[in-house]
Amino acid sequence: MTNGYVIGELGPRTLSLTIVRCAVKAVVALACRVLDQKQLETIASHVAELLREERQHRHLSMSTVAERAGLSQQMVSYVERGLRNPTLDTLLRMTAAMKLDLAELLAAAQRKARRHH
């Protein structure tokens, strides 16, 4: 029995095709991740840029955002300059501190990446 199927029911040829299909799907998924790495880096860069723009637009200092978010001013600076890849928690804290919707920020970063791609 393999993957819940009795080999005799499927036959060895069907089982081989299923294994090949799974392997192809895995390789394609890996290739997509590799190809999208540059795009992901571009989106991350735009997220950092948009966070800084939104903070400045709201006339907030890095220290104010850091205090509201429970982060260090240095971390806010690193994130805005793209020197750190923030965790989801950090992004949620920063966007909440600026009264931003994280989903909207990410969507804007994706749109910006597509325009520059």
Tokens for 35?
A: 């190809």
Q: Tell me, yes or no, whether 10 lies in a domain.
A: no
**Residue 41: how many CA atoms within 13 Å on its side-chain side?**
7
Q: Tell me, yes or no, whether 73 lies in a domain.
A: yes
pLDDT digits (tens, 9 = 90+) for 8-64: 455 565 555 556 555 566 666 655 555 478 888 899 999 999 999 999 999 999 999
Number of domains in the chain: 1
Q: For residue 42, what is the domain's CATH number?
A: 1.10.260.40
By residue range, what is the domain housing residue 44? 37-115
Amino acid identity of residue 106, one-letter, is L
Cα distance between residue 102 and residue 93, in whole Å: 10
pLDDT digits (tens, 9 = 90+) for 54-110: 999 999 999 999 999 999 999 999 999 999 999 999 999 999 999 999 999 999 998
Q: Tell me, yes or no, whether 43 lies in a domain.
A: yes
DSSP state of 84: S
Tokens for 73?
A: 């001013």
